[in-house]
Structure 1
C-alpha cells in the first residue's frame, strides 16, 4: 500500500482502490490513482487467551468472524453486513445489536497502524505520540488516512443465540423497555446480550432480545425460503447459530431484497443462495444508478421520480418515540430498524460526539420515496436532517448529506478534524472530509 502511495504523482489526490463499497454516495473529484490494498485483507492473529485479534484494515467482518468463532470469540460489535471491513467500520462507524453494551466498533480498538495523507505509517493508540489521530480517526472517512493494521478486543460468545421477539403497540412503552434493558442487561429476569428491533408502524414494533447460549430448543434457517424480518411477527421465541445470528440481516439486506423480487417465493427458489447477499444487491443498485433503469420504467408508467432516502441516525432515547412518530407521518417508508447504543466509556470521539452515559437509538431506513409535486430531490433528506437536529441526534455520513459547512463543522468536530488534518495530511492529498461526504450541493 505504501509502495502504491509513492507511485502516485506528487500533488495528485489519492484514494483506496476498491472494487466494492458499502457507501451510498457517488465518488466526486478527480482521482489519478488508487492505493493498492489487496494485501491487507486478512487476520494476522487471534489470541484466545488475551481475547484479542490482529487484523488488517481491509479484512471483512465475514473473514474476521470465520477466524474468531472457532475459539468461541467474536468482535465486540459485528456490523450487520458481511463485506463491511474492519478499517471501514472504524473510520466510517458501525453498529449492531451488541452496541447497547459495547458501543461502536472503534471503541474496541487497542491500537492501529495508519497510512496517513503524508505518506507515513504511524501507530495510533489511546495514549502516546499519535493519540490525536486515534481520537480523530473514527468518522473521518479516510480524510486523515487508512488503517492498515488494527488490534482489537474480542469477547466470548456461545455457539447459539436464543431470541425473544417482544411486540409493542405503543412506542413510549418500547422506549421504556430499551431503557430498562440498557440499564440492567435484563428483561423479565433473563439476561440480554444483544438488542435491536424493527418498527413496522407506530402501533406495531418489536424488540429482538438475544442471549448467547450453549444450546437452543430448535435452530431456524433464514438463508433459504424464510425471510428473517418476517419471523418477528410470527415467532415469540427463536434460535439461531451464532454465525447465522451475526449475518441474519445480510441475506436479504435487512428487507431491501424485496426491491429485486427476492422475497417472492418463486423468485427465491431460482435465485442462487450464494447470491442472496448484501454486496450482490449493492452492486445491482450501483448498476441501476449508472443506467437509470428504474427511473426510466417509472417514467414509462407515468410515475413520479423518486428520492433516495438511505440513512442511519442516532436519536437520544428520550426523543426516540417522537422521532419515530414524525418519521411515520412524513416519510412513507417501512419498516425501519432500531438499534440501541451507548458508548463504552467516558472517552470522547470528537468527530461523532455522542454523550457518554447516554442511551441512543439508531434508526435505520433505506429506500426511496416519491418526489411530491413542487418538491425537489433532496427535500425529504433535508427534512430528516432537521428532525434529527431537533431531536438532539446525529446522522451517519455513509449516504447523502446536505449540511452547509458551518453546520457540518459544528456537528462533526470541525476544529479537531482540521488540527489532525494539518498534522497528518498537510498537503491535503486525501479528499477533505466535508467534500467527500457532502460534496457540492
Structure 2
C-alpha cells in the first residue's frame, strides 16, 4: 500500500495541471457559488451585523477558558481556519495549537461621510468589492485576489497598484478590535492608548491577538477606468518612467490613479497607467502548463482563475518541496531608486521573466513603530515623509531548472534575501522565507513587537512571528535533495 501511495503521489506531482483542471477549477466555481449564496442569506436574514457583539463575547469566552487552565495544560493559540484556506505558501502546524473559532464574515457599517468601512476580519476582497463598487466606492488599498480576507491582509500585508498614493494596506486601517491572550477586548488606533499595538499588528500574522473587527479607509471611484499601455525599450528608460509616473521624484507631481509594469526582459517592459473616467473610452491604443492552448481556453477558460485555497488544498509533499526547489513565488518590497539593481539581481539569481513591478509608499513613522524600519534618508521622496518602494513579483521556474541543470534554489533565495536586507527592503512573509532568526531580526525591527507581546498578553499565548511564518519544514535540508535536475 505504501508503494502504491508513493506512485500515486508522484503521478499527482507530475500531472498537477490535470488535477487543477479536473478538481481545483470545479471546486473553485462551486465554492464561489456557495459564498454568493451565503452572503445573500445573511442579507435576507439581516441578522449578521447585529449579532457582532455576541459573536465577539463568545470568542472572548473561549480565550478566557483557555487562560484559566494551568500553564502546563495550555497550547499556543491560533485560529481554527484551515491551513488550506490561507493564502500563505506555508502550512503552520495548527494541530499543535489551541484552535479558536472566529465566525466573523460580515460587513458591519459604511460611513459615507467619513469614508470609512467597518468589517469583520473574514470578509473577503471579493465580497467587499461587490458591496462597495455599486455604491461608488472601493477600498483605498484593494487587492486583486478575491478570496483574500480583509483581516488576513491587516495582520499580514497588502499592496496594490494604488499604493503609490496610499501606501501599504496598513496605512488604510483606521482601527483594530483585538481579543488579547487574557480574553480582554481592546480597540487600537494611531492616537489612543493602544497606539503601540496599532503599529505592531501589521506584519504580526496573528501573533499578538485575535482580530475581531477593523475599520478601513475607502475612496470614491468613477464608473470607468482608462488604461494606457506604454511599451518601453531600455532598462534606464522604463525604470525612469516608473519613478516619474509614481511620484518617486517629486511628492507634488500629479500621478495616475493606478501604476504597474510588466518587465519582459532586462531591456524591455510595458508600463501600465490607469485613471478613473466618467465615460468609457472607445479608443484602441504556471500552474496549468497548457492553459494557453485554444482548446483549453474554449472549454475551460470560463472557470479561471483557480482559487488559491484549492491549489493549496491539493498540494502534496512533493509539490510543496518543488515550490521552493524548482519554482520561485516571491513578492519583495524594495526601494524604487534601486529598481535597476533589483531586476539585474533577479536575472542573476533566477533568470525568470516576466517580472511584476508596482510602486508603494513606505512611510517614516519614526523608530520602533512597528516591524518595518523607517526608510533611509537617501530613499525619501523630496518634500515627503515617505519613500517610494515597489513590489518586485518573481513567479515561475528558474531558467536553469527549465534547462535541466543543477540549481540550488535555497542558496539563491538566501542571496536574494541578503540583497533585500542590504537595500533596506522586506520579504513578504506569506511566501517562503529562508532566513535564520538573526537574519530575520536584521530585516525586521522587532523592538516594539517584543514589547507588545509582553504588554498585551501575547507571550506564552501566541507563537512568535518568526516561528509562525518560517516554513514548516527544513527548507535547507529538503533543498539539498532537490539540487539535481529531475
What CA RMSD, in Å, does the superposition of the two structures yield over aligned residues? Answer: 2.8
Q: Tell me which of 301, 304, 309 is aligned to 1:276.
A: 304
What corresponds to 2:200 in structure 1? 136
Q: How does 1:340-359 map to 2 (within 5 A)?
A: 340-343=359-362, 346=365, 349-355=369-375, 356-359=385-388
Q: Secondary structure at the match of 2:187?
A: strand
What corresponds to 1:118 in structure 2? 182
> Does the alignment pair 1:153 with 2:217?
yes
1:345 deviation in Å? 6.8
1:30 deviation in Å? 4.7
1:31 deviation in Å? 2.3
Q: How does 1:314-333 map to 2 (within 5 A)?
A: 314-333=333-352
Q: 2:207–2:458: 8 Å Cα contact kept in structure 1?
A: no
In 2, distance between residues paired with 1:289 and 1:308? 15
> Does the alignment pair 1:56 with 2:120?
yes
- C-alpha distance after superposition, 1:307-330 (max 9, x if no partner): 332111112111111210221232
In 1, distance between residues paired with 2:319 and 2:166? 40
- C-alpha distance after superposition, 1:111-170 (max 9, x if no partner): 110122333221001122211110111101111123211111111111111001111222
1:392 deviation in Å? 3.1
Q: Secondary structure at the match of 1:378?
A: helix
Change (3 A) 1:168 1:286: farther
Q: 1:14–1:31: 8 Å Cα contact kept in structure 2?
A: no
Q: Secondary structure at the match of 2:191?
A: coil
Taking structure 2 as the reference length, the TM-score comes to: 0.74
What corresponds to 2:314 in structure 1? 287
Deviates more, 1:14-23 or 1:341-350: 341-350
Paired residues in the alignment total 392
In 1, distance between residues paired with 2:300 and 2:65? 43
Q: 1:185–1:193: 8 Å Cα contact kept in structure 2?
A: no
Q: Tell me which of 308, 316, 330 is aligned to 1:311.
A: 330
Q: 1:307–1:378: 8 Å Cα contact kept in structure 2?
A: no
What corresponds to 1:232 in structure 2? none
Q: How does 1:393-408 map to 2 (within 5 A)?
A: 393-408=425-440
Structure possessing the higher radius of gyration over alpha carbons = 2
Q: How does 1:358-377 map to 2 (within 5 A)?
A: 358-369=387-398, 376-377=408-409
| Structure 2 gap segments, 5+ residues each | 1-58, 376-384, 475-486
> Does the alignment pair 1:22 with 2:87?
yes
- C-alpha distance after superposition, 1:67-111 (max 9, x if no partner): 111221111010121111111111111110000001011111111
1:216 deviation in Å? 1.9
In 2, distance between residues paired with 1:50 and 1:367? 42
Q: Tell me which of 410, 413, 417 is aligned to 1:378.
A: 410
- C-alpha distance after superposition, 1:202-246 (max 9, x if no partner): 122111100011122249xxxxxxxxxxxxxxx7x4xxxxxxxxx
Q: 2:208–2:452: 8 Å Cα contact kept in structure 1?
A: yes
Q: How does 1:205-354 map to 2 (within 5 A)?
A: 205-218=269-282, 237=285, 256-257=286-287, 259-271=288-300, 273=302, 275-279=303-307, 281-290=308-317, 292=319, 306-343=325-362, 346=365, 349-354=369-374
1:342 deviation in Å? 0.8
- C-alpha distance after superposition, 1:340-366 (max 9, x if no partner): 011367467521235242111210112
In 2, distance between residues paired with 1:116 and 1:368? 42
- C-alpha distance after superposition, 1:267-318 (max 9, x if no partner): 1222262x41352x452254133464997xxxxxxxxx94332111112111
In 1, distance between residues paired with 2:135 and 2:234? 41
Q: 2:118–2:216: 8 Å Cα contact kept in structure 1?
A: yes
- C-alpha distance after superposition, 1:150-199 (max 9, x if no partner): 1111111111110011112222222211222222899xx98511111111
1:333 deviation in Å? 1.7
Q: Tell me which of 165, 170, 188 is aligned to 2:229.
A: 165
What corresponds to 2:161 in structure 1? 97
Q: 1:102–1:344: 8 Å Cα contact kept in structure 2?
A: no
> Does the alignment pair 1:85 with 2:149?
yes
In 2, distance between residues paired with 1:293 and 1:126? 39
Q: Secondary structure at the match of 2:99?
A: strand
Change (3 A) 1:121 1:84: same
